[in-house]
Amino acid sequence: MLNLDFHPTGRHFLQIPGPSPVPDRILRAMSYPTIDHRGPEFAALGLRVLGKIQQVYQTTGPVIIYPASGTGAWEAALTNVCSPGDHVLMYETGHFAALWQKLAVRMGLNAEVIAMPGADAATGLPSSYRAGVQADLIEARLKADAQHAIKAVCVVHNETSTGATSDIAAVRKAIDAAGHPALLLVDTISGLGSAAYSHDAVGADVSISGSQKGLMLPPGISFHALSAKAIEAGKKASMPKAYWAWDEILEMNKTGYWPTTPNTNLLYGLNEACDMLLDPRHGGLPATFARHVRWGEGVRAAVRAWGLQIQCAESAVYSPVLTGVVMPQGVDADAVRKIIYERFDCSLGTGLGKLKGRMFRIGHLGDCNDLTLVAAVAACEMGMKLAGVALAGSGVHAAMEYFAGNPAPAVKSAAIK
Ligand SMILES: Cc1ncc(COP(=O)(O)O)c(C=O)c1O
């Protein structure tokens, strides 16, 4: 038996912004026997999860499930809707947006990057890594594209490297205001299931997600929610496609099957995860989203009390999924994380790409509660003090005050009488 737990007792605090902790209920569901993926029982499972994931996406259109991580679904989206050399417009909100652009370049696409220019005066960090997507920049760029060469606009809904949740409906409006036919491809890999998002209401064409964040599953499956326009574009696009091609998957999915071997046990887990997120006794999706907003508020109260900067500088787009904590100049954020991991058995997200060493990230997504977050904040506070970071006050106290003073709205539970 592998022993991966650094400390001998209690549970490790997995406070990275994904993979997020997998609830016991989901782990148990995943331990059901692996069944014949061409047999009758499987079709019932397939149809059930395809229906439930549509509800989580808040769409009436089809949802594709791939046995791949989020990166696979990024590639699959571009593979399905693009032709070789196509021009795509990608907005750089952070490291994940930058990685998606790099992937598009490797696929031979003409991947143009736009972003808010400049650096932030207080921290020297790139301005676009402290904000959400500026839809007006997209609108201006599309208006200048009179020939309609740009085939798709690609944006990240919840930028996991910074903690900014962009207004995707505003991006849709910008595309429409420019009178431009480009498809809207949205990465909601760390948004879905935690941050409010409706594929249909925002008017996205492809909404990409992954299992290991708000859906509270282990890594390994990823998703596309599709608009009718995306499916039509997929029929005409000429990028070579086989494994990722939507047409065969959509056809087989009608009867609950997949053309290739699906990830049966992750689908058991997905069924359970959707039941948890959609459970009307716990308030369904609206209560889930409200829970995450409240957790984010509590964690940010802690960061403010410490006198430190929140990575996302725009309060309108604070992420309900994670909070980035910027270290004072000269403090290595990874050295602080190392102390917190070794002394307090708590994993925090590292600073990625341009933010390496400058900040760490506290995840408040999925299977959390007030006390796991107070504990995570306590681990941060103790670790920062041990690392010699000067703190203005107690973040733990501020988080406790916030959570105690702002109770979650009561949700009627039929389970407890
Ligand atoms: C916003 C976002 N996009 C894409 C990815 C890449 O997904 P994966 O690592 O599952 O391939 C991640 C991973 O954390 C992410 O957070």
Task: Judge whether 129 lies within some domain.
Answer: yes
In a domain, 6, yes or no: no
CB of 160 sitting under 6 A from ligand 1: yes
Confidence of residue 1 (pLDDT cuts 50, 70, 90): low
pLDDT, residue 4, reads: 64
Q: Are residues 109 and 237 in the same domain?
A: yes
* Distance separating alpha carbons of residues 394 and 374, to the nearest angstrom: 12
CB of 190 within 6 A of ligand 1: the answer is yes
Chain-centroid distance, C-alpha 249: 24
Atom of ligand 1 nearest to the CA of 72: 11
Task: Kindly state if the Cβ of 209 falls inside 6 Å of ligand 1.
Answer: no
Q: Contact at 8 Å (CB) between 10 and 346?
A: no
- Cα 335 to its chain centre, rounded Å, is 26
Q: Give 71: exposed, middle or buried? Use CB within 10 Å, 0-12, 13-18, 19+.
A: middle
Protein residue whose Cα sits closest to atom 9 of ligand 1: 70
> In 3D, which of 56, 58, 53, 51 has the Cα closest to residue 200?
58
pLDDT digits (tens, 9 = 90+) for 187-231: 999 999 999 999 999 999 999 999 999 999 999 999 999 999 999
- Taking the centre of ligand 1 as the mean of its atom positions, its distance from the CA of residue 147, in whole angstroms, is 33
402: its two tokens: 């916030």
Atom of ligand 1 nearest to the CA of 161: 16
pLDDT in tens, 314-372: 999 999 999 999 999 999 999 999 999 999 999 999 999 999 999 999 999 999 999 99
The reply to whether ligand 1 has any atom less than 6 angstroms from the CB of 70 is yes
Decide if pLDDT at 416 tops 70.
no
Q: Which atom of ligand 1 is nearest to the CA of 160?
A: 16
Gap between the terminal Cα atoms of the chain: 41
Q: Residue 165 carries which side chain, given as an amino acid letter?
A: T
Average pLDDT for the chain: 96
**What is the CATH classification number for the domain harbouring 324?**
3.90.1150.10
Residue 8 domain flag: no
**Minimum CA distance residue for ligand 1 atom 7:** 70
| Ligand 1 binding pocket includes 210 (Cβ within 6 Å) | yes
Atom of ligand 1 nearest to the CA of 18: 14
Range of the domain at 263: 24-278
Residue 123 CA from chain centroid, whole number: 25
> How far is 113 from 107, CA to CA, in rounded Å?
15
Residue at 411 is within a domain: no
Within-domain flag for 415: no
Instruction: Specify whether 311 is located in the same domain as 230.
Output: no
Q: For position 256, which CATH number holds?
A: 3.40.640.10
Instruction: Choose which residue among 92, 133, 159, 160 to substitute to test ligand 1 binding: the one with the highest number of ligand atoms within 8 A of its C-beta.
Output: 160
The answer to whether residues 149 and 215 belong to one domain is yes
Residue 44 CA to ligand 1 centre (angstroms)? 30
Residue 188 alpha carbon, nearest atom of ligand 1: 1
Q: Whose CA is nearest to atom 13 of ligand 1?
A: 70
Give residue 228's pLDDT: 98
User: Could you tell me the distance, in angstroms and rounded to a whole number, from the CA of residue 378 to the centre of ligand 1?
Assistant: 27
Domain boundary among 240, 263, 278: 278
Give residue 386 CA to ligand 1 midpoint distance, Å: 31
Residues 216 and 121 in one domain: yes
pLDDT at position 413 is 55
Let me know if residue 312 belongs to a domain. yes
Asked if residue 156 has its Cβ within 6 Å of ligand 1, the reply is yes
Give the model's pLDDT for residue 417: 45
Q: Is residue 230 part of a domain?
A: yes
Using the mean position of ligand 1's atoms as its centre, give its distance from the Cα of residue 368 in Å.
Answer: 20
- Mean pLDDT across 390-409: 96
The answer on 346 and 197 residing in a single domain is: no
Which token pair is 333? 């954020």
Question: Of 171, 168, 156, 62, which is closest to residue 103 (Cα–Cα)?
Answer: 156
Fill in the amino acid letter for 252.
M
Look at phi and psi of residue 70 and say left if phi exceeds 0, alpha if psi is from -120 to 50, else beta. Answer: alpha
138 and 179 both lie in a single domain: yes
Task: Specify whether 243 is located in the same domain as 286.
Answer: no
Q: Which of 240, 257, 278 is the last residue of a domain?
A: 278
pLDDT in the model for residue 8:
74
Residues 178, 237: one domain?
yes
Same domain, 36 and 17: no
Q: Is the CB–ligand 1 distance for residue 189 below 6 Å?
A: yes
Among 242, 259, 278, give the residue marking a domain's end: 278
In terms of domains, do 176 and 265 share one? yes
What span, in angstroms and rounded, lies between the C-alpha atoms of 379 and 396? 9
Give 163-180 pLDDT, tens digit per residue: 999 999 999 999 999 999
Q: Tell me the CA–centroid distance for residue 174 and ligand 1, in Å.
A: 25
- For residues 167 and 48, membership in a common domain is answered with yes
Are 161 and 260 found together in one domain?
Answer: yes
At residue 122, the pLDDT reads 82
Question: Does residue 412 fall inside a structural domain?
Answer: no
Question: Domains in the chain: how many in total?
Answer: 2
Predicted local confidence at residue 411, as pLDDT:
73
Q: Give the residue, by CA position, lying nearest to ligand 1 atom 8.
A: 70
Q: How confident is the model at residue 93 (pLDDT cuts 50, 70, 90)?
A: very high
Whether pLDDT at 128 is above 80: yes
